[in-house]
Structure 1
């Protein structure tokens, strides 16, 4: 019975998926019973030394040779299409190729962790200004969220929704309370929240225009009254 994992289940290696890729590749090579050779390496036995081996040892050696003669080394190369890792072609064994990938991506992981810490700080410090529109603020939030996701951060909608609600300017205090009391935030999407906030913003802007117009009319009336008093 063949219990090997299909090659199609292993994705091509990219800068973003090394962790998942390495787990799936280990599972594949393990199912093919060659992971130990990849992990520990294989040392060829000289002909003279082979002559002195017991039959059981010779049979074990024959099986090992059969395993490494198959294109498992090629699998590691095949799933790597990154140009910057072209040095993998210089590796002469699967162990060397695997170790090269490990060492290379350890550096990448460190850079990613630092980048994630920076982005998390930027996300937490986000704050909507009074002069900023809901649409513009949403774009700023979404930009940081997408960067976090690209760097491996798990970002569900509720995290974004809660962040936006607690970072709005004071003009939105009333609608924030209304949303928190009437909506289930765990099922609300960022787009739905943004739609509600934009509707509230339009009402605020409309009210402001009405107030501004009323003030302009009052100023005009006051000015006319003063002109009338002056003529008298």
Structure 2
């Protein structure tokens, strides 16, 4: 945490898994500290025949560069610090980190494309329980989040509702008509569906298959009666 003119900043830390986010945050901090230009473009060495004005400007650039390099040192973990420990300028350190993570970010983006495709195709299977299906959804969305994807609860709730087994159609209609999907939490949805699934199992033990099918058909019509 750093303070400048009464403004407290929580400094981001590069830990090997968050480079994309980290470098965006760092650019904002560099801009706030008025050193972004020396980090991205560097500065020229002073010539022997340079004037006093040029030397003064060079000293100012060196001062700003040291400030930027100190910020980078504060905002990386031990592993990343070792990669830039011998860097003499902020641009050199910044470029080294960029090269180190360029390949990893490309791999992450390719993996994310594969996960998105898998997520789009995911459907609840006949043999899946509600708990099984939510586990699959959570596992996949966690992997996507790990690759940088932003997953809002509402989108996950909508995904679950449209990909459930058809035997849950009547409860899906009831939820969509009676609830604001923006307000439904994933845990709340799972709990409601599991309770309904349990009622289905209990009723199936007391009915023959033909009677059960008849009951489901009637249940499908109930939402239309209100």
**Short-chain TM bin:** 0.7 to 0.9
2-structure distance, mates of 1:32, 1:4: 14
Q: Compared with structure 1, are the counterparts of its residues 3 and 61 closer, same or farther at alpha carbon in structure 2 (3 Å cutoff)?
A: same
Corresponding residue of 2:199 = 203
Q: Compared with structure 1, are the counterparts of its residues 190 and 65 closer, same or farther at alpha carbon in structure 2 (3 Å cutoff)?
A: closer
2-structure distance, mates of 1:66, 1:172: 66
1-structure distance, mates of 2:128, 2:64: 64
User: What is the Cα deviation at residue 155 of structure 1?
Assistant: 0.8
Work out which of the residue numbers 58, 61, 71 in structure 2 matches 1:64: 61
User: What is the Cα deviation at residue 105 of structure 1?
Assistant: 2.2
Higher gyration radius (CA): 1
Q: Deviations over 1:189-229 (max 9, x none)?
A: 111211221111111101111126xx9xxxxxxxxxxxxxx
3-state secondary structure, aligned to 2:163:
coil
Work out which of the residue numbers 122, 126, 143 in structure 2 matches 1:126: 122
Q: Deviations over 1:22-54 (max 9, x none)?
A: 2332233333333322222234335xx2xx333
Aligned length: 207
Write the mapping of 1:77-226 to structure 2, written as runs, cut at 5 A.
Answer: 77-81=73-77, 83=79, 86-211=82-207
Give yes or no for contact 1:120–1:148 (8 Å, CA) kept in 2.
yes
Corresponding residue of 1:53 = 50
TM-score when scaled to structure 1? Answer: 0.78
Give yes or no for contact 1:38–1:95 (8 Å, CA) kept in 2.
yes
Which deviates more from structure 2 when the two are superposed, residues 79-88 or residues 116-125?
79-88
3-state secondary structure, aligned to 2:85:
helix
List, as ranges, runs of 4+ consecutive aligned residues in structure 1 with deviation greater than 4 Å: 2-6
Give yes or no for contact 1:4–1:31 (8 Å, CA) kept in 2.
no
Corresponding residue of 2:29 = 28
